[in-house]
Structure 1
Amino acid sequence: MDTLGALALATERPTNQLMIKPPVGRTEPLITNVMWRNLTAQALYQIFNEFNARNLEKKNIFKGLHKNKLFVGIVGATLILQVLMVEFLNRFANTKRLNWVQWGACVGIASMSWLIGWLVKWITVSGKQFLFFFRRGAPAT
């Protein structure tokens, strides 16, 4: 999936705005603060979405969670690593520490994926293959 995402981004044409930015020196971090901000936000959102991905059809995403210790351990380790990166590895990760309000906002926004996942599961899905609709000569229904 990362490969396809990178390929999609590579098809974007350069903008004039890009040419206005000054060159970046060799000693500057490869990942900028803006990149870290976006990476952190998306990573936190993906953590919450892992619960949605456990079962694509059931509305209760927490059912049986206590039986899957490995899943809980991986999510816990991911959370711990993210907190360590943001709060304690400032030099290495070029991050800024967050206060409680900022952490709360991150968790609140990310947890919306649970609500979105629950709402989406109320939408009925056709039994036909999705790509069927894009085939040439597909009969109109």
Structure 2
Amino acid sequence: MKKWILLFSIVALAIISVIIANTHFSKAINNSDIAQGKQTVENFFIALNNEDEEGAKALLAKHKQGIFETSDQPHKWKPELIAIEYDNSSYLEISSETYKSVYGHDPHKAMCLRVTFFDNTQTQKTVNYFYLTKETKNDQWVIFDWGY
């Protein structure tokens, strides 16, 4: 009887460990995520330079899509992309409270990319951190926010 209880306990613990590991590692950022995120940022810069507002909006999170309506000169900013690097520093993560305050739940995945570009409006090289999110496993990466 004790052997069955011990065996049952071990199996139950193993199942719980697999569930926890799967939940944790399914949200881990992998090389494919990084490549897709970089492509999202690159496509955003291409859309900006081609004055393609709809294309740029499609790459932004829902709460950011109104930035073109609030700009006096939406086609003035034509940044020249120089470099995109993945930055996995924990202090650069989107806090779940920030995302949750906008959408009411946590994102499926989130990452930060360090983007270097020439800013034509300030005529200088600029470095910004672009925060990207995936709402669900099957969604595309979108730009949640950017800044210093």
Q: TM-score, normalised on structure 2?
A: 0.25
Structure that is richer in strand per residue: 2
Which structure's relative contact order is higher, taking Cα pairs within 8 Å and 6+ residues apart?
A: 1
Please give the TM-score of this superposition, normalised by the length of structure 1.
0.26
